[in-house]
Amino acid sequence: MNRDSWTETDPPTVGVVGGGAVGVTAAADLAARGADVTLFDRGELASGSSGRAAGVLYDAYAEDVDAALAARAMDRFRTFDRTLPGFSFTACPYVIAVREGDPDADAVPEMVERMREHGREVSVVDPDALGERFPLRTDDLAVAAVAEGAGWCDPASYVGAIGDRARREGVRIETGTPVAFDGPVASRLRVGGSVRSFDAVVLAAGAHTGRLLASGGVRVPIKPYRVQALTSRPPYDGPMTYDATAGAYFRPHPTGLLAGDGTEPVEADPDEYDRTADDWFREDVSAVLAERADYVPEVERSWAGLCTATPDGDPLVGPVGAPSAGVFVAAGWQGHGFMRAPAMGEHVAEGVVASLSAGSDVRAGSRSARSPWVDAFDPNRFDGDEEFEIREGMSVESRGEHGSRKH
Ligand X SMILES: Cc1cc2nc3c(=O)[nH]c(=O)nc-3n(C[C@H](O)[C@H](O)[C@H](O)COP(=O)(O)OP(=O)(O)OC[C@H]3O[C@@H](n4cnc5c(N)ncnc54)[C@H](O)[C@@H]3O)c2cc1C
Question: Which residues lie near ligand X (CB under 6 A)?
Answer: 17-23, 40-43, 47-50, 52-56, 178-179, 204-208, 212, 227-229, 260, 305-307, 331, 333, 335-339
CB of 77 to ligand X, least distance (A): 11
Residue 381, burial from CB neighbour count under 10 angstroms (0-12, 13-18, 19+): middle
Query: What strand order describes the sheet that includes 188-191?
Result: 179-181, 188-191, 194-197
Closer to ligand X by CB, 43 or 323: give it: 43
Nearest approach, Cβ of 101 to ligand X (angstroms)? 27
Q: Coil, strand or helix: which one is 224? A: strand
Using DSSP bridges, classify how beta strands 36-40 and 89-91 pair: parallel, antiparallel or unpaired: unpaired
User: Minimal distance in Å, beta carbon 326 to ligand X?
Assistant: 17
Question: How many whole angstroms separate alpha carbon 273 and alpha carbon 257?
Answer: 26
Least distance in angstroms from the C-beta of 259 to ligand X? 10
Q: What's the min distance (Å) between Cβ of 370 and ligand X?
A: 26
By C-beta, is 145 or 316 nearer to ligand X?
Answer: 316
- When the beta carbons of 36 and 264 are compared against ligand X, the nearer one is 264
To 10 degrees, what angle do helices 21-32 and 337-358 make? 40
- Least distance in Å: CB of 209 to ligand X? 8
Q: Which is nearer to ligand X, 20 or 221 (CB)?
A: 20
When the beta carbons of 18 and 319 are compared against ligand X, the nearer one is: 18
Sign (positive or negative) of CA dihedral 213, 41, 168, 9: positive
Residue whose C-alpha is closest to residue 362's, from 371, 353, 350, 373: 371
Shortest CA distance to 14 belongs to which of 166, 4, 31?
A: 31
CB atoms within 10 A of CB 103: 11
If the CB atoms of residues 167 and 367 are measured against ligand X, the closer one turns out to be: 167
**To the nearest whole angstrom, how small is the minimum distance from the Cβ of residue 359 to ligand X?**
28
DSSP 100-117: TT-GGGGGHHHHHHHHHH
In the complex with ligand X, the residue whose CB is nearer, 99 or 226, is: 226
- Beta-strand runs (E) in 18-88: 36-40, 56-57
